[in-house]
Chains A and B, each alone.
Chain A
């Protein structure tokens, strides 16, 4: 039922049944609160002199401008997710290896996939990604000049190195060390996905520890 602006009446011009039904009854019915049906409904303009009912969103969703929708605003959450390793992951020497994050700590918004270790943008937007790798030395000695680096990938292509370590001297006392970093990226399309890799040249395999290693993504 649409709103129709009432006509201007002149002196002694009658108000007939059509006037009443169109300009009083229907106009009231086209606005708030007549268009409400449920707790939390909000009336929002959808065009000139046109209001629609915006149904309540999911709990902890926030009202946000969204020009793609009819109402121009919509309920959405700031999606966030975190994955870790359920066990240590061995990384071979001189081999760029994708970290298979296989344990989901939380996933608010459907970002995380512990089956393949990917974080995926559910819709376009700007996201912050963070990762920390706790690398166990095991039996390896880190010789001067040997390196390891943590890289963030987007849709299968290297996006940025989050951290890079080069040993200046032979190091044989460490039990573990961490590589970590963060980056903000714009996902242009729903389905854009992110992974992290570890590359090292230490001479033998090392483990990425399941304790305190993580991969996080959040909409910002």
Chain B
């Protein structure tokens, strides 16, 4: 946008046609509101006396400072997605990856890989992960001191132990059918990568990690 500073005039100076065309007409053409062509555009500085248009962003996007961009700003979205788990059979005393079935929804760069059972984030940032997991004993007798554990990993590195349940004979653990585990954790992803959950149970028999819309989910939100 080629804005030119108008010259200073003194008494008796003539305003030429060229000056009018350059400093009034063209400057008006190159500045708001003449420069705008559609709703949602923003005029952003690019240097001394210069600016460019930023095109409208996507619905729900926020204006973000980003020095890597030509204008120094861009439209950004807080990526978010909700993973639905698939029913997963948990063999005894075997670390098992929870199977991911689908994304109930996603915004931004969140995707799920149902072959490797991980949910991927496409860029670095701070992510809040929330989980709800249902463990089902399938009618088996759970012995004293048996336990169920779940671990959250990012790119193969442990982020957090999500939960641990230890049975006690005195608690009559065989009366229950399912246990729910819930919680949240913040994590800084230093780049694109993938989250997954491994679980371990040593109840003495095969049990099940239950799927379903309201049963077992993992939410991923960039904050």
Chain B interface, >50% SS class = mixed
Residues in A with CB closer than 8 Å to B42 are 42
Docked complex: B127-150 residues within 8 A CB-CB of A: 128, 144-145, 147
Query: If the complex has contacts A17-B10, A31-B31, are A105 and B188 also in contact, measured as CB distance less than 8 A?
Result: yes
B176 at the interface (CB under 8 A from A): no
A63 at the interface (CB under 8 A from B): yes
Q: Pick from A39, A171, A182: contact of B47, CB below 8 A.
A: A39
Looking at B159-167, B193-201, B208-216, the stretch in contact with chain A turns out to be: B159-167
Query: If the complex has contacts A34-B3, A211-B161, are A40 and B45 also in contact, measured as CB distance less than 8 A?
Result: yes
Contact call A41/B45, Cβ cutoff below 8 A: yes
Residues in A with CB closer than 8 Å to B11 are 16-17
Looking at B71-79, B86-94, B95-103, the stretch in contact with chain A turns out to be: B71-79
Contact call A57/B65, Cβ cutoff below 8 A: yes
B55 at the interface (CB under 8 A from A): no
Contact call B126/A108, Cβ cutoff below 8 A: yes
B223 at the interface (CB under 8 A from A): yes
Contact call A40/B126, Cβ cutoff below 8 A: no
B62 at the interface (CB under 8 A from A): yes
Residue of B whose beta carbon sits closest to that of A176: B164
A210 CB to closest chain B CB, in angstroms?
12
A68-107 CB contact bits vs B (8 Å, 1 = yes)? 0000000100101010000000000000000000000110
Residues in B with CB closer than 8 Å to A194 are none
B56-71 CB contact bits vs A (8 Å, 1 = yes)? 0000001111111011
Residue of B whose beta carbon sits closest to that of A81: B186
Q: Pick from A20, A63, A173: contact of B15, CB below 8 A.
A: A20
Interface size class of B (residues with CB under 8 A): 35 or more
Q: Pick from A21, A32, A170: contact of B43, CB below 8 A.
A: A32
Q: Pick from B12, B23, B67, B144: contact of A173, CB below 8 A.
A: B144
Docked complex: A171-220 residues within 8 A CB-CB of B: 171-178, 180, 182, 211-212, 214, 216, 218
Contact call A60/B44, Cβ cutoff below 8 A: no
A130 CB to closest chain B CB, in angstroms?
6
- Chain A residues near B (Cβ < 8 Å): 15-17, 20-21, 24-25, 28-29, 31-34, 36-43, 53, 56-63, 75, 78, 80, 82, 105-106, 108, 130, 132, 134, 168-178, 180, 182, 211-212, 214, 216, 218
- Chain B residues near A (Cβ < 8 Å): 1, 3, 5-13, 15, 23-24, 27, 30-32, 42-51, 62-68, 70-73, 76, 126, 128, 144-145, 147, 160-161, 163-164, 166-171, 183-186, 188, 223
